[in-house]
Copies of this chain bind each other. A is one copy, B any other.
Amino acid sequence: MTILSSKDNSNIKNAVKLRKSAKYRRESGLFIAEGVRICMDAMLSKACIDTFFASEKASEKYADDFLKLQKYSDKTFIVSDKIFNQMCDTESPQGFLCVIKALDKTACFDKIKTGDKFLALDNLQDPGNLGTILRTAEALNVTGIVLSADCCDIYSPKVVRGSMGAVFRLPFVVSDTISGYLNAHSELESYAAVVSASADKITTTPFVSPCIVAVGNEGNGLKEETISACKHKITIPMEGRAESLNAAVAASIIMWEMMK
């Protein structure tokens, strides 16, 4: 197998562009995953791997995994260690990088069933928070996620990494606005998560299914129009410094109460 050792190779340029540009990810329907575990996870999750890159060193160090991924992927390239490091946005890359086809996983949204419990994210901005929320949602068995179009890109490398591969498996759909989605799905009991003493406490909320809980932006919470579109307002009752919960932790506690 030839070893790629130029940044100008079109496959390498494509991967770098996918790493850097959300717009290009959207247009091409491709995204990247970096790291041995996450690339293996993509394969085990039956994600569609368009291109698999391994550094020279990694192709030897992780020879078994390299062969499995090579067999599974449409195309495989070995890349010189130096060029591989330039392709990645992590400080000491492990040496595996996959270009993955974004697949439609919206089937569960087409026909909503009794028992379904969704999470809606309204203008969530931090990729670390989004990754953590996806990971928690999968762990707690949330049915699917609705993202507003102004959330950060679910296919950004940071989200893919932080989600521990949940992004390959968890159903999600992007909607222009959460309020629009809720208005079009009035069969869902909808709950707006707010910081307010007068809202219903999540500890006593029944979360009648099928339902959806909307969680908002890190600094500003939910948009007014989203709160208005929800049938209920809920809040996390706390004795301590309530304003001080991280967005991913707040969403996790709400999902925990919804799912348990």
In the complex, what distance in Å separates the CA atom of A138 from the CA atom of B241? Answer: 7
Beta-carbon contact of B166 and A244 below 8 Å? yes
In the complex, what distance in Å separates the CA atom of A253 from the CA atom of B139? Answer: 12
Given contacts A253-B256, A256-B253, A256-B256, are A246 and B135 in contact (CB under 8 A)?
yes
Beta-carbon contact of A136 and B203 below 8 Å? no
What residues on B are CB-neighbors of A237 within 8 Å?
Answer: 260
Beta-carbon contact of A139 and B260 below 8 Å? no
What residues on B are CB-neighbors of A242 within 8 Å?
Answer: 139
**Range of interface residues on A (Cβ < 8 Å):** 20 to 34
What residues on B are CB-neighbors of A259 within 8 Å?
Answer: 239
Asked whether A141 is an interface residue with its Cβ less than 8 Å from the other chain, the reply is yes
Asked whether A164 is an interface residue with its Cβ less than 8 Å from the other chain, the reply is yes
Q: A221-260, CB under 8 A of B: which get 1 and which 0? A: 0000000000000000111111011101100110010011
Asked whether A3 is an interface residue with its Cβ less than 8 Å from the other chain, the reply is no
The residue that A136 contacts in the complex, of B139, B166, B245, with Cβ under 8 A, is B245
Q: Scan residues 117-145 of chain A and give those whose CB is less than 8 A from a CB of chain B.
A: 128, 132, 135-136, 138-142
Given contacts A132-B246, A132-B249, A249-B248, are A139 and B256 in contact (CB under 8 A)?
no
Q: Scan residues 159-216 of chain A and give those whose CB is less than 8 A from a CB of chain B.
A: 164, 166, 203
Min CB distance A253 to B, Å, is 5
Min CB distance A79 to B, Å, is 28
Nearest opposing residue in chain B for A128, CB measure: B128
In the complex, what distance in Å separates the CA atom of A240 from the CA atom of B164? Answer: 14
Beta-carbon contact of B140 and A238 below 8 Å? yes
In the complex, what distance in Å separates the CA atom of A253 from the CA atom of B237? Answer: 14
In the complex, what distance in Å separates the CA atom of A240 from the CA atom of B256? Answer: 12
In the complex, what distance in Å separates the CA atom of A249 from the CA atom of B254? Answer: 12
Q: Could you show 8 A-B contacts with beta carbons less than 8 Å apart?
A: A135-B244, A135-B245, A135-B246, A139-B242, A140-B240, A166-B244, A203-B260, A248-B249
Q: Please provide the 5 A-B residue pairs with the shortest distance between their CB atoms, ordered closest to farther.
A: A141-B240, A139-B244, A141-B239, A249-B252, A139-B240
Hey, which bits of chain A sit against chain B, CB under 8 A? 128, 132, 135-136, 138-142, 164, 166, 203, 237-242, 244-246, 248-249, 252-253, 256, 259-260
Known: A141-B240, A203-B260. 15 other contacts (CB 8 A): A132-B246, A132-B249, A135-B246, A136-B245, A136-B246, A136-B249, A140-B238, A140-B240, A141-B238, A141-B239, A237-B260, A252-B252, A253-B253, A253-B256, A256-B256
